[in-house]
Amino acid sequence: MKKIILIGRSGAGKTTLTQALKGEEIRYHKTQYVNHFESIIDTPGEYAQTHELGYALALYSYEADVVGLLLSAEEPFSLYPPNITCMVNREVVGIITHVDSPKGDPERAERWLRLSGCRRIFRVNSTAGEGVSDILDYLRGEEKEGPEPENGFDGKDAGG
């Protein structure tokens, strides 16, 4: 199974997704430090939100096969700059969380993740378990292939 590092802002749903991927009961737990599991590295949001701590994410990413950029469908902006994925020598996937939120806009989140360079996007509702099996299948190498947009971008407006 491939190992994934989950990166995103505080409240993006990294720890909840980690619990869902591990088949655990979902309970709130604020991640205070980098947590290593068999196939998941869960990182605190502050690492992605703070310039100085961001360097640590680069180091931890070398311990993973895949980098997962999480973006909540509720976010008013993207934390990730355009084409950031070219800076990583690992496959980078986008993961949209909180897709069930009435305040969310999963389509906008997907446009932002594609603009950042993510070719493969997963949509999840971790508390309901929706989309979690798709990520597990991907990590196991059992993913059902579907069409990908040319160059990872579908040509739609990437603005918010």
The CATH number given to whatever domain includes residue 36 is 3.40.50.300
**140: exposed, middle or buried (C-beta count within 10 Å: 0-12, 13-18, 19+)?**
exposed
pLDDT of residue 125: 95
Sheet with 35-36, edge to edge strand ranges: 35-36, 40-42, 4-7, 66-72, 91-97, 120-123
152 within a domain of the structure (yes/no): no
127 within a domain of the structure (yes/no): yes
Tell me how many domains the chain contains.
1
Mean of the pLDDT values across residues 25-34? Answer: 74
153 within a domain of the structure (yes/no): no
The H or E element that residue 6 is part of is: strand 4-7
160 within a domain of the structure (yes/no): no
Gap between the Cα atoms of 75 and 71, Å rounded? 7
151 within a domain of the structure (yes/no): no
110 within a domain of the structure (yes/no): yes
Residue 46 phi, psi dihedral angles, 5° rounding: -60, -25
74 within a domain of the structure (yes/no): yes
Name the pTM for this structure.
Answer: 0.84
pLDDT of residue 146: 53
> Roughly how many angstroms between the first and final C-alpha of the chain, as a whole number?
35
Instruction: For residue 63, name the pLDDT band (cuts at 50, 70, 90).
Output: confident
pLDDT of residue 76: 93
Instruction: For residue 113, name the pLDDT band (cuts at 50, 70, 90).
Output: very high
pLDDT of residue 43: 86
Structure tokens at 36: 């290593």
157 within a domain of the structure (yes/no): no
Residue 121: give the domain boundaries.
4-145
